[in-house]
Every structure is written in structure tokens, then in C-alpha cells.
Amino acid sequence: MKKMLFTAGCAALLAGGPVLAANPVAGKEKSKTCAACHGPDGNSAAADFPRLAGQHYDYLVKALADYKAGERKNAIMAPQAASLSQRDIEDLAAFYSRQAGLSVKY
């Protein structure tokens, strides 16, 4: 029984590996530039700028990496992402993925 619990615990830690390595506190500090368009917590009030709060960590990492690499095109985001390190991208994704997104009522 102990071996099964240990194995399950290790699997859970490995599944969340990238998120555990990223630093959401550092991401919050790094997000100050992003806040001008996306809002301080990632819930943009402007329709022209997507909400980042509550997005999946992996999606945010891929989107920022694609902007940086030029695989995703946007005149505003490309220069913003160009100077980000991989660590910056992971920290920002960790911060925004932990924020509460706005709920839509139907």
C-alpha cells in the first residue's frame, strides 16, 4: 500500500513538473508590462486584448514562445515576447494560469 501511494505521489509531481518549476510570484512582477493591455490580473477589460487569467499553463507557454519565434504573428506581441527568456515565459504562464478568469453568465 505504501509503495502504491509513493508511486501515485511521484506521478502527480511529475505530471505538474513544468508548473512546479515556474515561479508565479516572479511572473506577477514580470507581468507589469503586460498589464497595460491585459489588465493587472490578466482579465482585460478591452475586447481587443485577450484575457490571460485562467488560461492553461501549456497554452500560455506555447503562445509566448510562438510569438518570440515569429511563428505566431501580432504587431504588438512579437516585440513584447522577443526579449523574454524561457524562464520569463514560464513564470508569466505560471502567474496567469493561477489567476481567476471572468465567468460568463448565460
Q: What is the CATH number of the domain that holds 20?
A: 1.10.760.10
Task: Identify which of 20, 42, 19, 47 has the alpha carbon closest to the alpha carbon of residue 30.
Answer: 42
Mean per-residue pLDDT, 78-105: 93
In a domain, 83, yes or no: yes
In a domain, 106, yes or no: no
In terms of residue numbers, what domain contains 52? 2-97
Confidence of residue 101 (pLDDT cuts 50, 70, 90): confident
In a domain, 63, yes or no: yes
Structural domain count of the chain: 1
Mean per-residue pLDDT, 90-105: 90
What is the rounded CA–CA span in Å between residue 58 and residue 17? Answer: 11
pLDDT of residue 41: 95
Residue type, 65: A
